[in-house]
């Protein structure tokens, strides 16, 4: 019994070293004093952190990524909350087909969606890249929104809503004063998940960025193609710090264990 446990503990530690190790290594190289990437570095400096702000494209694309993620997430919430409410509140014909349809963007390969939007919207219809990018991101994050909001609506007791209506509230009013405040943490969690998925997205964005418009991950990809210095490591450290902050936000609203469901 003890021996199998020891082996299992050791195995698990190895797996976690594999998962976290590369992220630790990339962090070390961010503080390198060398002008090329190597591990272990021979000297240390903070120059690469300053270099992030010297590269104008990083600052600019960071802003674009932020903008697309916020607008896309708000759009997905505006579309997704009514859908989630309809799916969990009412019984109607074709409900399971519709619910699958709203989750379908998960099974469509993201590169294919990105390509289809490039071909159909940008090339054939002449819609600008920026709008295509926004639409693509909204589609990708919509299933997260629908799923997270649906699961918090499932825990909501609709008799409270009915009580409000029997006391003279109309349905719309009851939704805003009774239902919405009760699923607040679900909405915050959906916002955070949708935001991070949009902010990190590559496969859709790579097709929908064009002249003058790019996102941070795409800019990082093309930087790596031409330069091999620790700037990307420094930028990675900044992004990982943001990830940690986001994880604390998720833990406060939804609980991280939600991921294991």
Partner 1 sequence: MFTAKKVLLLISPGLLFLVIFQLIPLFSIFMETIQVGGEFSLERYGDFFKDPYNMNIYFRTLRIALISTLIAVTLGFPTSYFISKSNIKKRGLYIALAVFPLLTSPVVRSFSWIVVLGRQGLVNNFLTSLNIIEEPLSILYTEAAIIIGFVHLFLPLMILSLVGVMENIDHNLVLAAESLGASKLKAFLKIVFPLSLPGVVIGSVLVFCGSFTAYTTPQLLGGSRTRVMATLLYENARTLNDWTTASVIATIMILTTMAIITVINRGAKKLNPKG
| Residue 62 Cα distances to 58, 97, 114, 199, 209, angstroms | 6, 38, 20, 9, 14
Rounded least distance, CB 167 to partner 1, Å: 20
Per CB under 8 A, the list member of 133, 142, 174, 254 interacting with partner 1 is: 142
DSSP-derived 3-state class of residue 228: coil
Give the HSE-up count for residue 114: Cα atoms under 13 Å, Cβ half-sphere.
15
d(CA 62, CA 255): 28
85 binds partner 1 (CB under 8 A): yes
- State both tokens at 169: 């509230």
Rounded least distance, CB 49 to partner 1, Å: 15
Rounded least distance, CB 50 to partner 1, Å: 19
d(CA 111, CA 100): 20
Rounded least distance, CB 235 to partner 1, Å: 8
Give the HSE-up count for residue 138: Cα atoms under 13 Å, Cβ half-sphere.
17
62 binds partner 1 (CB under 8 A): no
Scanning residues 90 to 109, which ones bind partner 1 (CB under 8 A)? Answer: 90-92, 98, 101-102, 104-105, 107-109
Scanning residues 170 to 189, which ones bind partner 1 (CB under 8 A)? Answer: 171
Per CB under 8 A, the list member of 120, 128, 154, 177 interacting with partner 1 is: 120
Scanning residues 34 to 53, which ones bind partner 1 (CB under 8 A)? Answer: 36-40
Burial per residue of 27-38, b for 16 or more beta-carbon CB atoms within 10 angstroms, e otherwise: eebbbbeeeebe
Cis-peptide, bond into residue 7, ω within 30° of zero = no
121 binds partner 1 (CB under 8 A): yes
Scanning residues 232 to 251, which ones bind partner 1 (CB under 8 A)? Answer: 232-233, 236, 239-240, 243-244, 246-247, 251
**Between 188 and 202, whose beta carbon lies closer to partner 1?**
202
217 binds partner 1 (CB under 8 A): yes
């Amino acid at each position: 019994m003890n021996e199998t446990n020891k082996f299992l503990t050791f195995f698990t530690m190895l797996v976690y070293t594999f998962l976290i190790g590369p992220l630790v290594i990339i962090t070390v190289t961010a503080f390198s004093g060398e002008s090329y990437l190597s591990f272990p570095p021979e000297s240390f400096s903070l120059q690469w952190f300053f270099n992030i702000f010297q590269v104008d494209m990083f600052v600019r694309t960071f802003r674009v990524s932020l903008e697309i993620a916020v607008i896309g997430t708000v759009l997905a919430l505006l579309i997704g909350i009514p859908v989630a409410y309809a799916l969990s509140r009412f019984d109607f014909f074709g409900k399971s087909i519709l619910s699958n349809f709203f989750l379908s963007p998960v099974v469509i390969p993201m590169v294919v969606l990105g390509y289809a939007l490039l071909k159909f919207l940008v090339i054939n219809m002449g819609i600008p890249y920026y709008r295509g990018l926004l639409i693509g991101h909204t589609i990708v994050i919509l299933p997260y929104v629908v799923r997270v909001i649906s699961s918090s609506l499932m825990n909501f007791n609709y008799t409270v809503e009915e009580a409000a209506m029997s006391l003279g509230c109309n349905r719309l009013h009851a939704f805003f004063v009774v239902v919405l405040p009760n699923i607040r943490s679900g909405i915050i969690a959906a916002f955070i998940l949708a935001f991070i998925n949009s902010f990190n997205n590559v496969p859709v964005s790579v097709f929908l960025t064009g002249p003058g418009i790019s996102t941070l991950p795409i800019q990082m990809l093309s930087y790596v193609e031409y330069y091999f210095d620790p700037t990307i490591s420094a930028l990675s450290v900044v992004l990982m710090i943001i990830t940690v902050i986001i994880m604390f936000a998720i833990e406060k609203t939804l609980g991280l264990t939600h991921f294991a469901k």
